[in-house]
Chains A and B, each alone.
Chain A
Amino acid sequence: MPETVVLAVNGQRVIVPDGSTVATAVALSGATTFRRSVTNQPRAPLCGMGICFECRVTINGQAHARSCQIVCRDGMQVRTDA
């Protein structure tokens, strides 16, 4: 198994240790805002355990994916709402 995983966050190449969550990859990409709220406010993870849904991003075209619970895979395309 490879030690690292390579994925793209907002088109930017990010390399993370295998087993990292997508939220980690987003943070490593330098993005601070994960999503925009319904009144367009910046938001980022709150609970860190998949309950608050503030960590939602789009993964491989699928909107509203919880980045703090999903483990990175090679080639994932991640998009934040910033």
Chain B
Amino acid sequence: MPNRSHNYDVLVIGAGPAGLAAAVSAQQAGARVAIVDDNPGLGGQIWRGEQRQPSAPEAAQWLRRVQAAQLEFISGARVYDQPEAGRLLAETFDGVVELGYRKLILATGARERFLPFPGWTLPGVAGAGGLQALVKSGLPIEGKKVVVAGTGPLLLAVAAYLRKRGANVLLIAEQTPPSRLLSFGLSLWRSPDKILQAWQLKRALLGIAHLTNCWPVAAHGEEQLQRVTLHKGQKAWDVHCDYLACGFHLVPNVELAVFFGCELRDGVVQVDELQATNVLGIYCAGESTGIGGLELSLVEGQIAGYAATDQREKARTLFPERRKQQQFAELLNRAFALREELKRLPQPDTIVCRCEDVRFAQLEKYPAWRAAKLQTRCGMGPCQGRICGAAIEFLLGWQPESVRPPVYPVNVGHLIHRASNGGQRACASTPTSIGRPGTRTNDDAPSSDAPTSPLAVGQ
């Protein structure tokens, strides 16, 4: 297959709400826009599966807008390197795609924070969002006994979803105290839409115990989860279950932003009022600028899409909405802040790094990441510290290190950059045009046409 690359005015990384909103907004200026995402479908985590099985009206609305716009979607493709300014490489199951861009919008979303406790590595213990994603992808859950635990608004949504799919949700264990939940609930009066959502959730969860000040301290089983020990006040008791869906709120995915040289503060990407990062031509929207939920992601995405295509006035009209959603985000993050007791969850022999099976006692003796990494290999496995990193930041206060290529593990061969005109690289994935039939504008320009515009940005 000849060597091909695809060039875009605006490339959006991430097909969740922020990415979709950014792409649709950028396209309104007539720009050639593409979205690249490592998932097979549009929607990111929160709208996973909405294309195939619509359930959220807001998702359907945005997916319709995406359909109507002339967008290209490069699915199942994970961006891992930028060998030169304005040119990205993404790996797919079949090979590599080259993506040229003039403006880049990072909408890389968030992942769950996991905290290590004895038994958390057993099959059957998954993230809350993790189990939901697996069920959305077809994991059979009907009749299974599930405990949902951890912290964050996601727990309720996951419990409701799993119940709808036939799971026997035994209880929800939320670590935050009821007082914080109450003040969070009271703050919702300013957002009627959120009250409605909350009310709908409550109905969906009728009959399921929702315990606050409660968290899992151990999971038990040999080859598979059999029961979980929960802790609340002075009490600890065991619950038999098939799955423990457990996540401790969210952490932003910032690795790509760091790789591109974007500035971070307190672990989130810093942006100006137009969602522009400090790197010329790179914008960031959604959870990677701070955990703020769906509505904030949508409005940030739109602003970024407009800003990246010189539609500044349109962007400005959205500032008040963004401010409102940011206030909500602050309340949200305060309500679900982790309590200090959770730092005592791992026992000395509890595995913290699941890739290299590094135990908590091995780490405690080091002052910072680098020494611990070199001596124990903690965080040096294929997840590159994405899972243990957030836990260790909470448990030991260590800040993450630099990001080098490949930003995700890829085949060794995909780090070999053949001569551009050599035609050796198999271009595996041809973008899917989401727009109407016959309107496809992708002409598979040869890579010698890679952007040379001064707008193209580098590291």
Contact = CB atoms under 8 A, between A and B. Distances in A.
A32 B52 CA distance: 26
Interface in B25-73: 38-41, 45, 52
A32 B224 contact: yes
A41 B112 CA distance: 23
Which of B40, B137, B355, B356: most chain A CB closer than 10 A?
B137
A38 interface: yes
A68 interface: yes
A32 B409 CA distance: 25
B39 A49 contact: yes
B137 A47 contact: no
A14 B205 CA distance: 34
Interface in A23-37: 23-24, 27-28, 32-34, 37
A40 B10 CA distance: 45
Nearest to A25: B138
B354 A33 contact: no
Interface stretch (B116-124, B159-167, B260-268, B278-286): B116-124
Given A33-B123, A49-B39, A71 B76 contact: yes
Size category of the A interface is: 35 or more
A10 interface: no
Interface of B: 38-41, 45, 52, 76, 78, 93, 111-112, 114, 121-127, 129-134, 137-140, 223-224, 351, 354-357, 381-383, 386-387, 409
Given A37-B354, A68-B137, A70-B93, A48 B382 contact: no
25 contacts: A19-B41, A19-B52, A21-B40, A21-B138, A24-B137, A24-B138, A27-B134, A32-B223, A38-B356, A39-B357, A43-B354, A44-B126, A45-B130, A46-B114, A46-B354, A47-B111, A47-B126, A47-B129, A47-B133, A48-B132, A48-B134, A49-B39, A50-B78, A52-B354, A53-B409
Contact of B130 (A16, A48, A64, A70): A48
A34 to B, nearest CB: 7
Given A27-B139, A27-B140, A48-B134, 10 more contacts: A21-B137, A32-B123, A37-B354, A43-B354, A45-B126, A46-B125, A47-B112, A48-B126, A48-B132, A49-B129
A13 B127 CA distance: 29
A42 interface: yes
B131 A43 contact: no
Contact of B45 (A37, A49, A53): A49
Which of B138, B224, B354: most chain A CB closer than 10 A?
B138
Contact of B383 (A17, A34, A39, A52): A52
Tell me if A's interface is mostly helix, strand, loop or mixed: loop
Nearest to A20: B138
A56 to B, nearest CB: 8
Contacts of B356: 38
Nearest to A64: B382
Given A24-B138, A27-B140, A50 B123 contact: no
Contact of B121 (A27, A37, A49, A50): A37
B386 A42 contact: no
A36 to B, nearest CB: 11
A41 B383 contact: no
A21 B450 CA distance: 34
A48 B355 CA distance: 16
B354 A44 contact: no
A48 B131 contact: yes
A44 B383 contact: no
B138 to A, nearest CB: 3
A42 to B, nearest CB: 5
Contact of A42 (B111, B123, B134, B382): B123
